[in-house]
Structure 1
């Protein structure tokens, strides 16, 4: 699987790309939960990324709506800049290497969206700062972490007594991440039988529409706004786990 989060080798902290360590996952889930609890209590605390600069590297102008990643970073105190790429540059050439080095001098972290994997790897190699491959995107581990967090907050617990039924393509990147993380945390997952049914599953994930997952608890569908909040906290936990102190 293509790396979803890449870190320079000289950066301390967990490497959370295509090899996800169970301890790292548990730590980030716990941190996201603490951020959510502080937000609910109205005591978000200090701004640990105050003075840090994050670049959102994009091939097109920013959308009118504030990206979730930008909001998450701003709440932590970071400054966020949209950096629009110019004409394509050969990723193995000296111009691209110089661009990556310049970005590393100007910013403390870089998020790349809609870039080829080779381009992201070259930026990561030469920037010398954390480089993320579309941290906010549906294929990034942060989204699957937020999904699992939402189900857990509504009473889904590890073990065989609260299985999660999954409807949709289990081979999609987001689904693969969700299955891996859920299993590492000890949750029970079930796929439908040939008739399309799953028995004895109080919790479910409806991923038939890959762009709009619906998570359900025994009390009914989990509110989409709450899922978005969880995603924001997961992004913040990822940033705090990977940006050097």
Structure 2
């Protein structure tokens, strides 16, 4: 099952719980592909989230450079506010409920990073707007979707003879999400011993470095910038589908 999505029940087309089936994200994948095709054709779109406000709840001040999520939201016309969290508040208390309700009145969506699952769940419960659990993190399905999108663009299409060799920890959040999305797409995965060989397998995901996955296609190593670009399109699609019902 896919982890770390946590979207509000107000979000059209999504389940009001903390775990998603791969089918729930098929619309996001289709929109991401459509956004990329339009971009390659020179169509930058009409900024469909113009006038929308997104709060990024963070425990630290923002970095000097805009994050991937910042850029994805701005691409769609949304305004982004970095809201720095103060001292911890009891998630089940009245004060936390009041904070969540206030955020819901001020913002059209909320992304939570560095919060416990209980805290995110309470914000989701009381804010009344779409709530994400660290949308741009490696453990969110958006990252795994970008990995799969990149491989599919290089010819890894569903079929009885198509498979992906996986090297690394299959129990990491990113790996579990990737496995679920690949299976839902009809693509088989095989876990390989890092000391062995992947001869005969056209597509390889080298996740031995959990922080830096390396993707291989028949023509060789795939540039990491391609996956990063696709991650941005997937983030845009996630925001668009969730906030605009696209």
- Taking structure 1 as the reference length, what is the TM-score of the superposition? 0.95
Query: Which ranges of structure 2 fall in alignment gaps of 5 or more residues?
Result: none
Alpha-carbon deviations, 1:128-179, whole Å to 9, x = none?
0000000000000000000000000011111232311100001111000000
Q: Equivalent residues in 2 for 1:150-229 (5 A)?
A: 150-193=150-193, 196-229=196-229
Distance in structure 2 (CA, Å) of the matches to 1:244 and 1:190: 37
Cα gap change, 1:104/1:202 in structure 2, threshold over 3 Å: closer, same or farther? same
Does the 8 A contact of 1:166 with 1:205 survive in 2?
yes
The aligned residue for residue 60 of structure 1 is: 60
How far residue 200 of structure 1 moved from its aligned partner, in angstroms, is 1.9
The aligned residue for residue 107 of structure 1 is: 107
The aligned residue for residue 133 of structure 2 is: 133
Does the 8 A contact of 1:2 with 1:117 survive in 2?
no
The aligned residue for residue 6 of structure 1 is: 6
Task: Give the root-mean-square deviation of aligned CA atoms.
Answer: 1.7
2:241 aligned counterpart, secondary structure:
helix
The aligned residue for residue 19 of structure 2 is: 18
Does the 8 A contact of 2:3 with 2:177 survive in 1?
no
1:161 aligned counterpart, secondary structure:
coil
Distance in structure 2 (CA, Å) of the matches to 1:101 and 1:217: 47
Count of residues paired in the alignment: 244
How far residue 64 of structure 1 moved from its aligned partner, in angstroms, is 1.1
Does the 8 A contact of 2:3 with 2:141 survive in 1?
no
Distance in structure 2 (CA, Å) of the matches to 1:11 and 1:227: 27
2:216 aligned counterpart, secondary structure:
strand
Does the 8 A contact of 2:2 with 2:141 survive in 1?
no
1:243 aligned counterpart, secondary structure:
helix
Distance in structure 1 (CA, Å) of the matches to 2:18 and 2:233: 19
Distance in structure 1 (CA, Å) of the matches to 2:193 and 2:63: 42
1:190 aligned counterpart, secondary structure:
strand
- Taking structure 2 as the reference length, what is the TM-score of the superposition? 0.94
The aligned residue for residue 28 of structure 1 is: 28
Query: Which ranges of structure 1 fall in alignment gaps of 5 or more residues?
Result: none
Distance in structure 1 (CA, Å) of the matches to 2:77 and 2:115: 27
Cα gap change, 1:3/1:129 in structure 2, threshold over 3 Å: closer, same or farther? farther
Does the 8 A contact of 1:3 with 1:133 survive in 2?
no
Distance in structure 1 (CA, Å) of the matches to 2:86 and 2:109: 20
Does the 8 A contact of 2:144 with 2:174 survive in 1?
yes
Distance in structure 2 (CA, Å) of the matches to 1:78 and 1:112: 17
How far residue 199 of structure 1 moved from its aligned partner, in angstroms, is 4.0
